Every structure is written in C-alpha cells, then in structure tokens.
Amino acid sequence: MIPRWLKSLCRSDRGTALIESAIVLPVFMLLVGGIFEFGYFFYQQQLLTTGVRDAARYLALTTNPNSTTNQFDATNLAVYGLINGGVTPRVAGWSTSDVRVSVTAANNSSGMIYCGGCPVEIITVSTSLADPSLGFLGLLGLNPPTINVSHQERWVGGSAQEG
C-alpha cells in the first residue's frame, strides 16, 4: 500500500526544471570556468612570447649583443615592455631574473657566399614561468602549469638605440 500523497508526488511534474537545473548547472559552470582559465593561460603565454621576441630582436640590432648593459636592457624590455624598466610586468610574477640571454657563434664555414665564412652570432632569449593564476582549476588540485618560451635571432647589429 503506497500512500496516496506518494503516488501524487510521483505523478507531479512541478519542480522538475529546478531539479534539472541543479544537476546541469554545476557541470556547465565547471566547463565555462575551465574555458576561461585556459583562455587566460594562453593570453599569458602570448605576453611572454611577445616579450621574449622583443628582447631578442632588440639584441639582434645592437652593436654588441654580448654587452651586459644591452642584455640588461633586453631583459627589461622583455618583462616590462620598456628598456628602462617599469613598475608593472607584462605577466604577474614575471621578473628580469626569469629571463635568460645567450649569444653563441654558429659556424658558417660552408657559407662562403654570405660573409665570407665568418661566424654568425645567434641570440637566444628564453624564459620559464610557473603560471601563478591557476585559480579556478586550482580548486581541482591541479599543479600550476609552467610556460616555457624561447626565441632566436641572428645578430645583424647596429641600428637599435642603446640605453
């Protein structure tokens, strides 16, 4: 014997939209939050890539890419967007100590057509940064991803204004 009120409750469709919303809404919000987090992560990666590329191009146009002053200016340009430094970095948590600059000579002995076989200097600017802004997905217990960016330019020299 099922009580009459239980039978009427099973046949009633009042409140079904509320129950369906309660089931679907958390999954939908998780999906929207994840898309937002990944979009912001790729935005930060693009800012780091732009900074590293700017620094490598700046050094490629200096008269001496091995100069510590020029390399310091290049790291400022990468992080702050200004040669003289700045207050706010392009990405929160990024500093000039995270940017690495190396200048290596590549053998051009087989390239007698270009530069008569002289060595070509290759400038490499790279950085590595653990994304500190993993907010929403951090609630799931995920570790912050590390963004690694590197850019190389060939030294052509001489046209950049040096600070």
36-56: per-residue pLDDT in tens? 888 888 999 999 999 999 999
- Express each pLDDT in 134-143 by its tens digit: 666 677 777 7
pTM score, whole prediction:
0.78
Residues β-bridged to residue 151: 125
112-150 burial code (b ≥16 CB/10 A, e <16): eeeeeeeeebbbbbbbebebeebebbeeeeeeeeebebe
Strand order in the sheet with 99-106: 99-106, 120-130, 146-154
> Residue 49, Cα to own-chain centre: how many angstroms?
6
Split at pLDDT 50, 70, 90, the class of 132 is: low
Query: What is the three-class DSSP state of 146?
Result: strand
Four-residue CA torsion sign, 56, 60, 61, 67? positive
Residue pointed to by tokens 């995920």: 142
**What pLDDT score was predicted for residue 99?**
97
Above 80 in pLDDT, residue 148? yes
